[in-house]
Amino acid sequence: MALNMASANVTYRNNLVSDSKGSRPVKQMAAPKAVTSRVRAVSTFKRADKSSPASTLNFMERLPSEILFKILSYLNASALFSISHVNKLFNQLANDNALWNKIYVAELAKKKRWKPNRIDEIRDQDAGNWKWLHFKTVAECNMDCGLRRLGLISRYTGLPFQTENVLRSINVTWELTVSDKSGHKATYEPSWSEFCETSVTLCWTGGGCLPNYQQISTLQLHGVRRVALDCPGLKAPGFRSLMVKLDVQNLTKSAQVIGQDKLVALKLLEPGVIIGIWRGQCSVAFVIFTLHFHRLVERSILGSAVCPYVMPIIKPPFDDIDPEYGLHGYQLHIVLHGTACNIMSQSFSKLFCQRTQISDGLIQLTAISRTIHSRHTPLSRSITLPWRCEALQGTVENCCIMSLTLLDEFKKPFWCVTSPVSMELEKTPVSYDYDGEHYLIHYKDSDGQMKMKFVWMKEQEQFVLTCLVVYVTVSKVNKHFSREY
């Protein structure tokens, strides 16, 4: 019996070899059933070894959906989110509401935040959207942990120490949405960002993607809080918070060029926003937003996609005894910087204005007086604004970014602003103290003004700050302190 079986195997193999060499068809001996099944198994095994990933995927697709669903039920949120990008079938299966309901319940139980009546409330409001609810819950947990870290305040700036770390830990980024006159919209992530002492600078470079300057209709800046997922190469889901919306067509009429070099001209659309235009053209080289740290975390995550975060109004205690309440006890912290390094950073305390000195609806707070030489401050660097765009880079002279933080007598932020500014040559200054060219930086908005005066010391090759005065509108002081100056 064994001999007969071996003979049959040899004959069967010979027939297979004969066929494979393309020889004349021969009449094959029928192999026993056991041999046939064994050959089929070996043949199938060999095909599986030589199969491509696509063939394996087709094999998976041929499985019943119930089996695939059972397999997917063992995946965590990151793996389930990743596999939903494989193809349409897995996208449909991985977005099944029951799978995400299971993950959502497990996440709440793990974090011990489960409330018996919460499940019914969610079903009524967001039925069929357990995936969105899971991501929202995870993001809110991370957000709550981050916001608690903002309680440690710097006594110099009056701002949280951990602003940058919190933004990074809760996966906050920013997106720029550009709309043109034809109604087309495109959203871009920053090309680069730089954190400084009290502000962050965000830049989007053109690269042929941004529309022509004259064709831009609106710019919208959103903060985006992304869910922490272990999915390399995939953009995690995020929740958007509108921060700025600009009507570029209207702003273009009043936009001013604050500086230029051989390649680009910088147009200031409004405080905190500049567009770099290639000289001799209308194409956009880059768009830069500068954001002050005051309430930056809240503004980046607590608004909605269409409505910005509304900052709470916190008024100081009412005082009807002090006749000059709201005119003294101010503290100023000011920073001048480029896109990467500081030019100067200094704090000034106990600033005040006498009631008789109120003029033209402004309260004057002098930090550095021209007549007090001991307060004059030399700058460590020249006043320049470097820029970089794809393979090109340059430096605009006599421009920089100013970040101003004014605290009231209770050490609470009273006026905070970050914006690119320009330094202009003063043509008619008279000074017997310094022999050199005099320059002025003048910032102005609806809440106040700031003036800085410099002298260029040719021998030392550096600027000296000789005057720094902040002007706050009387209406802002009256509203904040409930006064009637």
Indicate the pLDDT class of residue 110, thresholds 50, 70 and 90.
low
Domains of the chain: 62-117+126-150 (1.20.1280), 162-300 (no CATH), 330-481 (no CATH)
Q: For tokens 């933080």, what's the residue?
A: 405
Q: Among 17-26, 379-388, 468-477, name the one with the lowest average pLDDT.
A: 17-26
Identify the band that residue 444 occupies on the pLDDT scale cut at 50, 70 and 90: very high
Encode burial over 350-361: b for 16+ CB neighbours within 10 A, e otherwise.
ebebeeeeeeee
Q: Which is more confidently placed, 402 or 169?
A: 402
pLDDT confidence of residue 109:
65
Q: Is the model's pLDDT at 137 over the cut of 80?
A: no
Query: Of 371, 316, 359, 344, nearest to 471 (Cα)?
Result: 359
How does the average pLDDT of the chain come out, rounded?
82
Nearest to 362 by CA among 478, 200, 217, 190: 478
Euclidean distance between CA atoms 240 and 303, whole angstroms: 7
pLDDT value of position 252:
87
From residue 26, give the alpha-carbon distance in Å to each of 6, 15, 19, 35, 338: 20, 8, 8, 19, 86
- Higher-pLDDT residue of 48, 69: 69
Q: Of the ranges 90-94, 308-312, 353-357, which one carries the lowest mean pLDDT score?
A: 90-94
Q: Are 136 and 143 in contact (CB under 8 A)?
A: no
Give yes or no for residue 224 having a pLDDT over 60.
yes
Predicted pLDDT of residue 17: 39
Burial class, 72, CB count within 10 angstroms (exposed 0-12 / middle 13-18 / buried 19+): middle
Q: How many CA atoms lie within 13 A of 464 on its CB side?
A: 19
9, pLDDT greater than 70: no
Mean pLDDT of 428-451: 87
SS (H, E, C) the chain: CHHHHHHHHHHHHHHHHHHHCCCCCCCCCCCCHHHHHHHHHHHHHHHHHHCCHHHHHHHHHCCCHHHHHHHHCCCCHHHHHHHCCCCHHHHHHHCCHHHHHHHHHHHHHHCCCCCCCHHHHHHHHHCCCHHHHHHHHHHHHHHHHHHHHHHCECCCCCCECCHHHHHHHCCEEEEEEEEECCCCEEEECCCEEEECCCEEEEEEECCCCCCCHHHEEEEEEEEEEECCCCCCCCCCCEEEEEEEEEEHHHHHHHCEEEEECCCEEEEEEECCEEEEEECCCCCEEEEEEEEECCCHHHHHHCCCCCCCCCCCCCCCCCCCCCCCCCCCCEEEEEEEECCCCEEEEEEEEEECCCHHHCECCEEEEEEECCCCHHHCEECCCCCEEEEEECCEEEEEECEEEEEEEEECCCCCEEEEEEEEEEEEECCCCCCCCCCCCEEEEEEECCCEEEEEEEEEECCCCEEEEEEEEEEEEHHHHHHHHCCCC
In this structure, of 76-80, 130-134, 163-167, 177-181, the range with the lowest mean pLDDT score is 130-134
pLDDT digits (tens, 9 = 90+) for 278-289: 998 889 999 999
